Every structure is written in structure tokens, then in C-alpha cells.
Chain A
Amino acid sequence: AQSVSQHNHHVILSEAASLELGCNYSYGGTVNLFWYVQYPGQHLQLLLKYFSGDPLVKGIKGFEAEFIKSKFSFNLRKPSVQWSDTAEYFCAVNAGYSSASKIIFGSGTRLSIRP
């Protein structure tokens, strides 16, 4: 069964620091990958997605992620974080090409930014 691991449960950074959040998935075939963000008290919103093509994908608000197939990883990066990036971040995977495929989420990483 597919699964997603986010090893960083809580990350605390100062403003302007660089960010990298880890995401690893377990599935040997074709995958679609997502990063979602949840601001306090809100629902999930898509940050970026990878379906095929260039493994370096750019999303909203200056976020990017790199798909490394050999490492089963899809890490999220941002060169310089802002206080407004305080949120919870979820990595998700959708395995295979079946129309009945599921989207499975990781346990999330809470990001706290010190002003």
C-alpha cells in the first residue's frame, strides 16, 4: 500500500531563513505528488503539484519542490521564509493511473516562523 512519510513534525525558523521539508513516499510505480498548506483555522490549499516532466516544480508564494525518483522523495523548499508562512504543510501521493486511485497524505509538518 502507498504511504507518505514526513519526518519533520515541527520546524521553527527565523524570518529570512531557508526552508526544506522532507517527504518520502513508498510506491514503485507512477505517482502524482502534491504539497498542500493549511493556515491556522483554514482548509487545505494546494501549494504545488508534480505529475510529469520537469522534476523541479514551482508553486505559489515562492515555494518549489524537487521530485527525485531514485530516492522516492519530493522535498519542499523556500529560499527565504516569511512570518506569514506559519502553517502546517502536508505532502500527498496519488499512485498509479487507475481512476479509482486514492490520495494519501503524510502526517504533516508544523512550521513556526519567529518574527
Chain B
Amino acid sequence: NAGVTQTPKFQVLKTGQSMTLQCAQDMNHNSMYWYRQDPGMGLRLIYYSASEGTTDKGEVPNGYNVSRLNKREFSLRLESAAPSQTSVYFCASRTGMSTEAFFGQGTRLTVV
């Protein structure tokens, strides 16, 4: 099984450019999450989707938008990238409340 798949794996953007990070899971999970990982700060939740058709802000939503396209896919969009958004982005999914989350391999984004 592929599990949680993120594309692209690496990306370099110029300040002001936009891009969408893609995430897809094949485990029929209800909930999906986007995190960013920065040195010394752990993983911080950007947005999450408890179920298809719903999205909610996490800890650090500013500068991002998300779309839960269907049950499988949850995309993260940067409308106008800033150097402060340089980070490693992880997508995760899980079945529901009393289950653990499964993570993708991450997208390393650099904004210059």
C-alpha cells in the first residue's frame, strides 16, 4: 500500500510565487492534516480536515489555504510564498478519533 503520498518532494519558489502541495491517502481515512516542521519547533498544525467537506484552522494557518477535494485528497496552497514559509511540510491522515495518524514522506520547500 502507498499510504500517504505527497507531491512534490522538493520545491524551490521565489518570493511571491504560488504553489499547491498535494496529498493523497489510499487508506480510506476520514481525517487529514497538514503540518510544518521547523528546527526546534516540532510539528505545528496548519490546517486539518476532520471529514470530507470540512476544514479547520490549526495553530499556524496564516498564509495558507486548503482544499479537501474528496475523501482521498487534501491540498495545501501558498498564494504568495514568503521566506518564512521555508519548511518541511508533512501531510497525515487517520481513520478517526481513537486512532493514530499516518504520515507522508514530506515536502521540503525553500522560498528564496
Contact = CB atoms under 8 A, between A and B. Distances in A.
Contact of A99 (B58, B96, B104): B96
Interface stretch (B12-20, B33-41, B79-87): B33-41
Contacts of A100: 50, 54, 56
A104 B59 contact: yes
A47 to B, nearest CB: 10
Contacts of A98: 97
B44 A105 contact: yes
A59 to B, nearest CB: 11
Interface in B9-66: 30-31, 33, 35, 40-45, 48, 50-51, 54, 56, 58-59
A90 B43 contact: yes
A107 B40 CA distance: 6
Contact of B58 (A9, A102, A108): A102
A109 B18 CA distance: 33
Contact of A43 (B45, B51, B54, B90): B90
Contacts of A46: 100
Contact residues on B (Cβ < 8 Å of other chain), bracket: 20 to 34
A34 interface: yes
Identify which of B43, B50, B90 gathers the most chain A CB atoms within 10 Å of its CB.
Answer: B43
Contacts of B40: 9, 107-108
A32 interface: yes
17 contacts: A34-B100, A43-B90, A43-B103, A43-B104, A44-B92, A97-B97, A99-B96, A100-B56, A101-B97, A102-B33, A102-B45, A102-B56, A104-B59, A107-B40, A107-B41, A108-B40, A108-B42
Question: Which 7 pairs across A and B sit closest by C-beta, in order of nearness?
Answer: A107-B42, A100-B50, A105-B43, A44-B103, A43-B103, A108-B42, A46-B100
Interface of B: 30-31, 33, 35, 40-45, 48, 50-51, 54, 56, 58-59, 90, 92, 96-98, 100-101, 103-106
